[in-house]
Structure 1
């Protein structure tokens, strides 16, 4: 049986997308899914939809501040208590760099072959960068939007020469257009904000498989149910959400969490 598929559209500016990304990466519930991460520009998506940015909606910034901490605690996601520096910040250079990494991953997949028939890890560069950038910004409150910090982060992951190549490629017309295309694809799938997940069932023929989209961390339970995934409290299996978590003074989540109880 083919694995259920999930496409998660991401922008590093969104705390709730970080939480969804962390859960998809670490929770046992999603371990059997074929997951694709797609960098987009949240500001561009909101402009296409005619949405008002959350920080311009009275009272919503305070709600975001508290709600991200609640969900981080439930799922033991490391989260800074103070908002990151200058939040919200422009992420265009970051997202273009991530598009460049995604393009490199796609090129490797198209040309690589393993004599032993092993399946290579999907999107290795992109995932490595997302792990680091999300952790630095949302767990450690590091100003990744500063060019020198972005360069330093990429150099620490891939080496100085490769970091320069990535940053140079991120300014090319092809990569700029890739970010636009990704944002358009999210919009065309129905997205109006992030996190946005497009899920396809793993059972049935190619004609009978079903696809649905879900918005928000609070709809991960519905996404899991739609895909037929076993969740704590609804069947066997384990999860990062296996206890009661807390967020410490330095923003590090401690212990487990009861996230799936909130989603059932």
Structure 2
């Protein structure tokens, strides 16, 4: 008997394209029927290192275009995104492993809570130009999404168990030939696997899964008004 199609969405909260893809996928989750979705935190820094890739922001010409492209894409999807002025300094100084392990702790408690926290991390960094790398940042995020036992979650995230899970998730991404984020692995009903890179491949995924094409609400409204 064929299995339900499944989307494995590998992401890191340092990645603005992971943020854009996350919001698109959250929207499509209500429109794509019979498709299960797993959101999988991994560490983009290790993915870059293992694949030999370089962050777009580290290449001067690409960095300028990336910021322009991000703002265009965010406007198209109506996503609140403003590149933080301190981004280059932050990515040279900090890693996101702490934030990703916070998400893994929350995932064990409640998947929806983990997703709310992931969105809050992105909003802090990519909408409000606020840090997401230290315990004080985690505390603010956890309180914002309604976590009661904030310090307990922060301390728990430092256990070896969560470092191991993050490494396993990252290694799985490496096995899938990931070289950036978001990395999307689609398992179709026939058992075949199909990998996609980036936040602009959902039209191809929709076609593969024979699901409605993704559109922002403004275009959906215009489409319906013409019917």
Q: Please indicate the TM-score interval, normalised by the length of the shorter structure.
A: 0.7 to 0.9
Instruction: Give the structure 2 partner of residue 150 of structure 1.
Output: 138
User: Which residue of structure 1 lines up, in the alignment, with residue 150 of structure 2?
Assistant: 163
Task: Map 1:60-139 onto structure 2 (within 5 A).
Answer: 60-80=62-82, 82-83=83-84, 85-87=86-88, 88-89=90-91, 90-105=95-110, 123-139=111-127
- Cα RMSD after superposing both structures: 2.4
Q: What's the counterpart of residue 111 of structure 1?
A: none
Residue pair 2:56, 2:62 contacting (<8 A) in 1 also: yes
CA 1:219 to 1:73, structure 2 compared with 1: closer, same or farther past 3 Å?
same
The alignment of Structure 1 onto Structure 2 pairs a total of residues equal to: 217
TM-score, normalised on structure 2?
A: 0.85
Query: Structure 1 pair 147/187, CA: closer, same or farther in 2 (3 Å)?
Result: same
- Which residue number in structure 2 is paired with residue 240 of structure 1? 216
Deviation at 1:241, TM superposition (A): 4.2
Shift of 1:180: 0.7
Unaligned regions of 5+ residues in structure 1, if any? 106-122, 203-207, 233-238, 245-255, 259-264
Q: Distance in 2 between matches of 1:137 and 1:32?
A: 33
More helix by share: 2
User: Within 1, Cα distance between the matches of 2:135 and 2:120?
Assistant: 15
Cα distance in 1 between the residues matched to 2:222 and 2:156: 40
Distance 1:19 1:31, change over 3 A: farther
Summarize the Cα distance change of 1:30–1:135 in structure 2 as closer, same or farther, 3 Å threshold. farther
Q: Residue deviations 1:188-245, cap 9 Å, x none?
A: 112111111111224xxxxx3332011112222111111111226xxxxxx434339x
Q: Residues 217 and 86 from structure 1, CA distance in 2 versus in 1: closer, same or farther, beyond 3 angstroms?
A: closer
Q: Distance in 2 between matches of 1:156 and 1:31?
A: 31
- Residue 10 of structure 2 corresponds to 9
Deviation at 1:156, TM superposition (A): 2.9
Question: Which stretch shows the higher mean deviation, 222-231 or 133-142?
Answer: 133-142
Which structure 2 residue ranges, 5 or more long, are not aligned?
none
Distance 1:31 1:141, change over 3 A: farther
What is the SS of the residue equivalent to 2:194?
A: strand
Q: TM-score, normalised by structure 1?
A: 0.74
Given that residues 105 and 157 in structure 2 are in contact (C-alpha distance below 8 angstroms), is that contact kept between their aligned partners in structure 1?
Answer: yes
